[in-house]
Amino acid sequence: MPFFMEFLNEEADSSLFVYHSSLGTVYLLLYVDDMVITGSNPSMIQSIITRLSKEFSMKDLGDIHYFLDVEVQANEKGLSLSQTKYALDLLQRASMLDAKPISTPFFVAALQYLIITRPDLSFGVNSICQFMHALIEDHFCVLKRILRYVKGTPHYGLQLHKQSIRDLLAYSDADWARCPDIRRFTTGYAIFFGANLVYWSSKKQSIVSHSSAKVEYRSLAVATTNIAWIIQLFRDLHVTPSALPKILCDNKSAIFMVVNPVTRPRSKHIAIDYHFFRELVANGTLKVEFVLSHLQLADSLTKGITKPQFFLFQSKLSVTPSNMLNLKGGDKEEAYDPP
């Protein structure tokens, strides 16, 4: 049997290959000609690298430091993921390193890749991307503000913590009819594995809803689909969550619609494909609980919030400086206006 057939290509991610045996588990993540190998048994990892080297022309670069424009730094807490070089290159292309005005619109799309390690940029970038087809002066002003924020925080990234907790916890939120043009709503959710933020989204939906409860309900359903995908990914990785997945929502009416099937007359206008997660709650696979609005971390993914709230949520989402010693003008952290 060829060597590569010993790895299983997993359902949740076609780029992920897993080799599992009684001695341990090895994960191989492949993107074109770039590869990351990790696992629970160092000797197995080294043996697999040696065998791969005999089959293919490859170079072992040692511990991971840079992968697909994402910088990885080990620290006392765990791992820090950032895109400092990508952010600075983006600012250079936009002539914003010296705060000069921007004159081309394609940097909006380039900002989307920066969201990989910057959830604090999600709402601002999502909002401006909706006008890429017809940017006007006001949009350029917003775009310039986002780039100025990036200029002040290019070293910020996502901190991943060493931990033994294996709970899945999600925050789900929706902003009803805030768009003044078409009154569509924005959904946002943040999913944590223990203390680590592993998935987040900010997206304007394609439909209009009659009430805030219904948009919150739909947001819960959207978050649930991604929780289901993460659970499948964990199965592929041979990782078992230690408790039932939980979603926190700050709308009691939406939660009431989830746990009480007698509310069908009030929810009959909601598409059937949104109701699947109600069954997950009913059969005990998923829990939905209430959270106070000022503790709703997904708020920053659905709407503009005050500066104190932004900095609080930025911290709660584990967006921190990846290396304070690389800051110009010293090693003191400064506070920058959010986009």
Q: Using an 8 Å Cβ cutoff, are 202 and 186 in contact?
A: yes
Q: Using an 8 Å Cβ cutoff, are 141 and 155 in contact?
A: no
What is the residue-wise DSSP string for 64-103? --EETTEEEEE-SSEEEEE-HHHHHHHHHHTTTTTTPPP-
pLDDT for the residue numbered 191: 95
What residues contact residue 280 under an 8 Å CB cut-off, 6+ apart? 224, 286
What are the structural domains of the chain? 3-56 (no CATH), 64-162 (no CATH), 165-300 (3.30.420.10)
Amino acid at 141: C
Q: Using an 8 Å Cβ cutoff, are 247 and 172 in contact?
A: yes
Least confident of 188-202, 211-225, 253-267: 253-267
Distances in Å between the Cα of 11 and the Cα atoms of 236, 277, 281 are: 7, 21, 24
Token readout for 142 is: 């917003």
Cα separation, 241 vs 250, in Å, equals 24
> For the whole model, what pTM was predicted?
0.83
State pLDDT tens for residues 102-111: 444 456 678 8
What is the CB neighbour count within 10 angstroms for residue 236? 19
Q: Is the pLDDT of residue 323 over 70?
A: no
- What is the average per-residue pLDDT within 271-283? 77
Phi and psi, residue 185, nearest 5°: -105, 160
Q: Is the pLDDT of residue 302 over 90?
A: no
Q: Is the pLDDT of residue 82 over 90?
A: yes
Least confident of 36-50, 58-72, 170-184: 170-184
Which residues on adjacent β-strands are paired with residue 319?
Answer: 158
- What is the average per-residue pLDDT within 129-136? 76
Cα separation, 55 vs 262, in Å, equals 61
State pLDDT tens for residues 27-40: 999 988 889 999 98
- Bigger pLDDT: 205 or 179? 205
Give the confidence band of 197 by pLDDT, cuts at 50, 70, 90. Answer: very high
What residues contact residue 31 under an 8 Å CB cut-off, 6+ apart? 15, 68
